[in-house]
Amino acid sequence: MTQRELEDRDERWTAMRALLAAPFVDATAPAYTLIRRHERAVAALLQSTYGYQLEVCSTAARASGPPTRDGLHRPLRVCPASASGRQRPPDDWPALGDRGCVLVLLTLVALERGSAQTAIADLARDVERAGADVDPPVIVDFRARAERLAFADGLDLLCAWGVLEHTSGSHDSYARREQREDEALFTVDRRRLALLLRDPASAMSATTLAELLDESARYPPTPEGRNRIRAERLARRLTEDPALVLDDLDDDERTYFTGQRARIEGSVAAATGYAIERRREGSALIADDRAFSDVPFPTNATVKQVALLLCDMLASAEQPVMSAQAVRDAVSDLVAAHGRHWGRDADDPAQVTALAEAATDVLVACDLAQRADAGGLRPRPLAARFRTPTVKRARVRL
């Protein structure tokens, strides 16, 4: 390849990574320029590899498409407004609760019906009306503080995505005990608002989650069409989930992936520029620069150091499940050995339990373990990647 071709390839990789890593790429971001420069090539890569559609407007770019199965269970996290908060890893950002997600959807309906600018008090009333229009109705009562907090969290999420811009005023009373008339004014980016739904007609007609995620109409109902859907779904899982584990696939997917493994891995590597690690249990995309990771692991954070040390115990355990008590005992031993560096006391059961639960959340989020009955942990194949290596000394004959 010529130097220019190498530079173009690297620019396409940067553009693809930015689109796959965040809901929107802002027009002020350097990657947006690369997306516009290589728009046709990037759109073709997204479509052929993942079945994603590239949407570009004057204020942002977005890759839209169906999520992975695991992606449906990952929380939406709200980017903190403070500079120090934004510097924390994304998995430390506050997660939007279930009620907050419902209110975000109702807010989107209200914004779609409204004008280019709205005051928060007017928007709140429009959200209440949108809830009343749902069948069955969703009762929204902003006299309850919890409801106001969930609404404010949703507004913060939409501001972080750039769908809303907090133009002036304050919406502080939505975080206070008593509700007052706020004067906050929001400007709506209607172009980004339009990009949030990939297929509005299908979304409006869907009555279940399965219908909303149905991809069967995208390709002809032929063996070739079904294989295309399988290939895209597997490429998405390889790219967006911590690992693609063969035992997690159904029989048809496992058979297809086994036969097409090199092609699927090659297409993902060509689209992202990242290496693919292949093992007997499955495959994983290795993003060594961490620009693509929403849960950085391992890191120097205490909880993630505990999770890393637990990986070795999980991968080496003789039993298929590590009980909840065994996890707490293991964490207690780790705190006894390293507590002076972590600021934890092994003799404090509350500290040990809290640390064990937080480390368990990290292990599950990174697909290193899964929860078992009675609070136990079952190791996942990916945990073996972080076990302590065994060094064997070679015998030297003199």
Is residue 205 in a domain?
no
Q: Which of 18, 34, 65 is the last residue of a domain?
A: 65
pTM for the whole structure: 0.87
Nearest CA-CA partner of 242 in 369, 373, 85, 103 = 369
Name the range with the highest mean pLDDT among 205-219, 243-257, 376-390.
Answer: 243-257
Kindly state whether residue 106 falls inside one of the protein's structural domains.
yes
Q: What is the pLDDT of residues 340-375, one digit of tens each?
A: 889 898 889 999 999 999 999 999 999 999 999 888
pLDDT score of 111: 94
CATH number, domain with residue 314: 1.10.10
pLDDT (tens digit per residue) in 62-85: 999 888 888 888 888 888 776 667
| 179 SS3 class | coil
Q: What pLDDT sits at residue 398?
A: 53
The confidence score (pLDDT) of residue 378 equals 93
Q: What is the mean pLDDT of residues 14-36?
A: 95
User: Is the alpha carbon torsion for 49, 51, 56, 60 positive or negative?
Assistant: negative
Query: pLDDT, tens digit, for every residue of 246-267?
Result: 999 999 999 999 999 999 999 9
User: Among residues of the chain, what percentage have pLDDT more than 90?
Assistant: 60
pLDDT given for residue 353 in this prediction: 94
Lowest mean pLDDT among 81-95, 187-201, 265-279: 81-95
Element (DSSP H or E) covering residue 93 = none
The predicted model gives 31-37 an average pLDDT of: 97
Is the domain of 176 the same as that of 109?
A: yes
Other Cβ atoms closer than 10 A to 342: 17
Q: Is 244 within 8 Å of 282 (Cβ atoms)?
A: yes
Residue closest to 264 by CA, chosen among 294, 300, 221, 232: 232
Shared domain for 90 and 184, answered yes or no, is yes
Determine the 3-state secondary structure of 164 from DSSP: strand
Q: Does residue 379 sit within a domain?
A: yes
Residue 391 lies in a domain: no
Q: How many residues does the chain have?
A: 398
Give the three-state DSSP class for 278. Answer: strand
Selection from 194, 203, 146 nearest residue 174 by Cα = 146
Token readout for 390 is 């065994």
Residue 382 lies in domain: 302-386
- For 293-318, how does the pLDDT look when each residue is reduced to its tens digit (9 = 90+)? 888 888 889 999 999 999 988 888 87
Number of domains present in the structure of the chain: 4
Say if residue 90 is in the same domain as residue 177. yes
Phi/psi at 226 (5° precision):
-65, -40
Among residues 294, 284, 287, the alpha carbon closest in space to that of 237 is found at: 284
Separation CA 270–CA 213 (nearest Å): 26
The rounded radius of gyration (Å) of the Cα atoms in the chain is: 24
- Give yes or no: residues 265 and 343 share one domain: no
Q: Does residue 133 share a domain with residue 90?
A: yes
Asked whether residue 206 is assigned to any structural domain, the reply reads no
Is the model's pLDDT at 391 over the cut of 70?
no
Residues 58 and 102 both lie in one domain: no
pLDDT band with cut points at 50, 70 and 90 for residue 177: very low
Is the pLDDT reported for residue 393 higher than 70?
no
Could you tell me the pLDDT band of residue 181, with boundaries at 50, 70 and 90? low
Note whether 230 and 281 are same-domain residues: yes
313: three-class secondary structure by DSSP: helix
Looking at residue 241, its pLDDT comes to 93
Q: Which carries the bigger pLDDT value, residue 291 or residue 190?
A: 190
Residue 109 within any structural domain of the chain: yes
164 and 94 inside one domain = yes
Residue type present at position 184: A
Give mean pLDDT, residues 120-135: 91
**308 and 351 share a domain?**
yes
315 C-beta neighbours (distance < 10 Å), count? 19
Of 115, 119, 96, 105, the C-alpha closest to 166 is: 119
* One domain for residues 132 and 234: no
